[in-house]
Amino acid sequence: MAGPLTPAETGRLAAAVLERVEELVVGKRSVLEQVLMGILADGHVLLEDFPGLAKTLIARSFAQVTGLGFARVQFTPDLMPSDITGSSVFDPRRAEFDFRPGPVFTSLLLGDEINRATPKTQAALLEAMQERQVTVEGTTHRLERPFVVLATQNPIEYEGTYPLPEAQLDRFLLRVTVGYPSVDDEVAMLGRRIDRRVEQVVLAPVIDAAQLVAMQDSLESVHVADVVRRYVVEVVAATRHRDRLQVGASPRGSLAVLGASRARAVLAGRDYVTPDDVKAVAVPALAHRVSLRPDLWVRGVRPEQVIAECLDLVPAPAPPDPMGPRPLASSGPDPATPVAESAR
């Protein structure tokens, strides 16, 4: 079992994980950082975009690099809840029922195209994602740490998809949009494919499951000043008073912003959170937790726009006193520098 880690050590291991994943996933540094933030914060991540944009590749790459047990579920309209959680099977020789664990009993579960299954099947993950346990026929089965769900979904306007239930969306720490690569990045991707001469590549692990748990635990040592905590709550509370929203973010949204902000601080080389960390994670941590008024949804307004408006409306506090919690010993980036640029 790995021993305790400092935020500095976690930051160095996280940088190595990102570097290894980038050997296969080209031009998506910001997306990869957000996924790793979710994993470090012991949360689940929803990857959303059109087919063919490397969502599944990203999930599989993180499983390989972190050395986690991996299972993949392809969500389809005929998928049953027991296909995910497992079921009891009668053994006639012993005249007893045996529990056969489903794919949810793993460390990293890839729920591929999760919104192609019916809401009943999607909801089968709720207990596992929130309580880290599965109850089948009255018996509760615990899920061991680490347990991370990386789910992919196509936009709900895409044919053959179902919207995720609000309760399940709220269980995802972050929702990340992948987006199309730039022309240069796509050209580089083709060049790497030609150079390696094979379609599939297996990435060597950088860490193991025990080290990942220690990295997750080290985030508890990342300092969050009182003014930054209040700023988090004020941003989340602002979503509850916007006329453009039917439903604002719950206190679980505040916890999500807190966890993701701590993870971003570690990736940026600090052991304390700044208001810029909160701003950087607010949209992926909150946009999927709010509901637009129907008329705005029809007009093409996005929840991300409303979260950005809330960030503009709530004054940010001054950065924490540099004479307080000190930056990590390594020469990390300036607190105001976006991670995606400073980590390059």
Give me 161's structure tokens. 């998809």
The pLDDT score that the predictor gives to residue 201 is 82
The answer to whether residue 99 scores a pLDDT higher than 50 is yes
| 8 and 112, same domain (yes or no) | yes
241 shares its domain with 292: yes
Kindly state the helix (H) or strand (E) to which residue 46 belongs, with its residue range. Answer: strand 45-48
- The amino acid present at 148, given as its one-letter code, is V
Return the pLDDT at 341. Answer: 41
- At 115, give phi and psi (nearest 5°): -90, 15
pTM of structure: 0.86
Q: Is 100 helix (H, G, I), strand (E, B) or coil?
A: strand
pLDDT tier for residue 334 given thresholds of 50, 70 and 90: very low
Q: With pLDDT > 70 as the criterion, what percentage of the chain qualifies? A: 90
Model pLDDT for residues 280-299, shown as the tens digit of each residue = 999 999 999 998 888 776 77
Burial of 87 (0-12, 13-18, 19+ CB in 10 A): middle
From 220, 239, 256, give the residue that closes a domain.
Answer: 220
Q: Are residues 183 and 236 in the same domain?
A: no
**Number of continuous H segments (helices) and E segments (strands) in the chain:** 15, 11
Q: Averaged over 215-225, what is the pLDDT?
A: 95
- Pair (175, 316) in one structural domain: no
What is the rounded CA–CA span in Å between residue 120 and residue 77? Answer: 10
Residue 331 scores a pLDDT above 50? no
The answer on pLDDT for 26 being more than 70 is: yes
- Cα 85 from chain centroid (whole Å): 21
Which residues, 6+ apart, have CB-to-CB distance to 105 below 8 Å?
71, 86, 134, 141, 143
Residue 311 belongs to domain spanning: 222-344
**Closest listed residue to residue 343, CA positions, set 39, 2, 9, 29:** 29
- At 9, which amino acid appears? E
201 vs 26: CA distance, rounded Å = 14
Residues 137 and 176 grouped into a single domain: yes
Bridge partners of residue 140, in order along the sequence: 135
Q: What CA–CA distance (Å, rounded) separates 150 from 79?
A: 18
Nearest to 114 by CA among 62, 153, 80, 81: 153
Query: pLDDT band for position 94 (50/70/90)?
Result: confident
Q: Specify the pLDDT at position 344.
A: 35
- Same domain (yes/no): 163, 278: no
How far is the C-alpha of 269 from the C-alpha of 49, rounded, in Å? 30
pLDDT at 327 over 80: no
Say if residue 202 is in the same domain as residue 90: yes
Q: What is the 3-state secondary structure (H, E, C) of 128-163?
A: HHHHCEEEECCEEEECCCCCEEEEEECCCCCCCCCC
Same domain, 7 and 136: yes
In terms of domains, do 71 and 1 share one? Answer: yes
Q: Are residues 153 and 247 in the same domain?
A: no
Percentage of residues in the chain with pLDDT exceeding 90? Answer: 51
- CA-CA distance, 63 to 161, in Å (whole number)? 26
Question: Cα(19)–Cα(246) distance, rounded to whole angstroms?
Answer: 41
Q: What CATH number is attached to the domain comprising 192?
A: 3.40.50.300
Domain boundary among the residues 163, 185, 220 is at: 220
Residue 332 has pLDDT above 80, yes or no: no
132 backbone φψ class: left, alpha, beta (φ>0; ψ -120 to 50): left
CATH of the domain at 342: 1.10.8.80
The answer on 75 and 32 residing in a single domain is yes
Q: Please say whether the beta carbons of 172 and 43 come within 8 A.
A: yes
pLDDT band at 322 (very low <50, low <70, confident <90, very high): low
Q: Is the pLDDT of residue 56 over 60?
A: yes
The two structure tokens encoding residue 251: 């206190």
Q: What is the total count of domains within the chain?
A: 2
Distance of CA 17 to the CA centre of its chain: 15
The answer to whether residues 268 and 333 touch, using CB atoms and an 8 Å cutoff, is: yes
Phi, psi (rounded to 5 degrees) for 181: -75, 160
User: What does the pLDDT read at residue 304?
Assistant: 92
Of the three residues 188, 205, 220, the one that is the final residue of a domain is 220
Do 206 and 272 reside in the same domain of the chain?
A: no
Mean pLDDT score, 231-242: 94
